[in-house]
């Protein structure tokens, strides 16, 4: 039971890492809080749902589609909203209000379009794709169904989301530390003003980071029907709050902190479910309060936010 709880916590934590990564990237680069982050995740989830419902497209190929679509959506949305916001006296605080409004608009439109009821994708769909991939990689036939990890059986969707999350973390690190764009992005993260003074096209860099953040949210959304049971247009707010707690626990603006925050959250949540199940949903808030009291800059926080 202990091993299962720990492993489930790791996988669940990795999923919340994936959710938090985009939110943290946007905050790190622009110093704004995208309160509509969970709503973009919801849109990604509905994209996967509709592609499956209408065209029987498996959620696995939907992952790159969702990432690219939302990456592209991010560019015009950035230029429409963010530069104006950053010219304000207190963009960090104003971003709360603006993105809260955007969240409400997205939620209302989604409700009009898709109704209020829960929607989901049968779990076997993802399992089938995972089995096919594992069969291809290992060269032997892998049955569709749960995946064994250290003798413990987990839904294929959990393993797939864990892998996707790992890829997401590596992708963010590769982008930040192995590409020229990432080098420039880190410059903006350290000091926007100095980056402008150095001749960096800050808006272009920020727009890419914004699109990247939305793309990661949409990818997390593809897994939502499996990890969160079902999806509704109203699910975004709760997801945003939890992922915000995750990135604050880890450290705002630090992708590695998001990984740590996600794992701390996931493992603690699963242990709470096992031993104090009635109180499990209080956990993100308890962790958030504890971290803010004991280490206000987050578990991996420094006095100056690192890039």
Q: Please report, as ranges, the residues that interact with other proteins according to CB under 8 A.
A: 1, 4-5, 8, 12, 107, 111, 114-120, 122-124, 127, 145-146, 153-158, 225-230, 232-234, 238, 269-270, 273-274, 277-281
- Nearer to other proteins among residue 119 and residue 204 (C-beta): 119
- Nearer to other proteins among residue 117 and residue 303 (C-beta): 117
Shortest reach from residue 108's CB to other proteins, in Å? 8
- Nearer to other proteins among residue 53 and residue 179 (C-beta): 53
- Give the C-alpha distances (Å, rounded to integers) separating 278 from 8, 114, 218: 18, 32, 30
- Cβ within 8 Å of residue 295, ≥6 positions away: 301
Shortest reach from residue 232's CB to other proteins, in Å? 7
Shortest reach from residue 99's CB to other proteins, in Å? 18
Contact 251, 298 (CB under 8 A): yes
Contact 5, 270 (CB under 8 A): yes
Helix (H, G, I), strand (E, B) or coil at 153: strand
Contact 247, 260 (CB under 8 A): no
For residues 203, 240, 154 and 263, what is the CA-based torsion angle, rounded to 10 degrees?
80
For residues 228, 223, 131 and 150, what is the CA-based torsion angle, rounded to 10 degrees?
-60
Shortest reach from residue 100's CB to other proteins, in Å? 14
- Nearer to other proteins among residue 76 and residue 124 (C-beta): 124
DSSP designation for 221:
H
Shortest reach from residue 25's CB to other proteins, in Å? 25
- Nearer to other proteins among residue 234 and residue 256 (C-beta): 234
- Nearer to other proteins among residue 12 and residue 78 (C-beta): 12
Contact 169, 21 (CB under 8 A): yes
Shortest reach from residue 20's CB to other proteins, in Å? 16
In whole angstroms, give the CA distance from residue 241 to residue 243: 6
- Cβ within 8 Å of residue 57, ≥6 positions away: 51
- Nearer to other proteins among residue 76 and residue 101 (C-beta): 101
Shortest reach from residue 265's CB to other proteins, in Å? 12
């Amino acid at each position: 039971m202990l091993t299962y709880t720990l492993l489930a916590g790791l996988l669940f934590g990795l999923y919340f890492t994936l959710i938090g990564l985009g939110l943290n990237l946007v905050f790190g680069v622009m110093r704004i809080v995208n309160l509509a982050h969970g709503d973009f995740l919801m849109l990604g989830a509905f994209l996967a749902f509709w592609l499956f419902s209408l065209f029987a497209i498996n959620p696995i190929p939907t992952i790159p589609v969702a990432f690219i679509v939302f990456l592209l959506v991010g560019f015009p949305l950035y230029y429409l909203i963010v530069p104006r916001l950053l010219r304000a006296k207190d963009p960090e605080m104003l971003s709360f209000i603006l993105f809260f409004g955007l969240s409400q608009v997205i939620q209302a439109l989604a409700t009009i379009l898709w109704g209020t009821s829960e929607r989901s994708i049968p779990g076997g769909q993802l399992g089938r794709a995972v089995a096919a991939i594992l069969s291809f990689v290992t060269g032997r036939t892998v049955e569709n169904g749960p995946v064994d990890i250290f003798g413990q059986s987990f839904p294929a969707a959990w393993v797939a989301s864990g892998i996707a999350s790992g890829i997401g973390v590596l992708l963010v690190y590769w982008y930040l530390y192995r590409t020229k764009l990432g080098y420039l992005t880190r410059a903006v993260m350290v000091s926007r003003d100095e980056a402008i003074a150095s001749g960096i096209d800050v808006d272009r860099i920020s727009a890419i980071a914004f699109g990247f953040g939305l793309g990661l949210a949409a990818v997390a959304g593809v897994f939502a029907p499996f990890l969160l049971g079902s999806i509704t247009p109203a699910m975004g707010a709760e997801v945003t709050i939890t992922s915000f707690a995750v990135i604050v626990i880890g450290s705002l603006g630090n992708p590695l902190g998001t990984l740590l925050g996600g794992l701390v959250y996931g493992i603690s949540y699963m242990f709470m479910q096992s031993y104090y199940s009635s109180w499990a949903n209080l956990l993100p808030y308890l962790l958030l309060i504890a971290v803010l009291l004991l280490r206000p800059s987050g578990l991996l926080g420094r006095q100056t936010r690192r890039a």
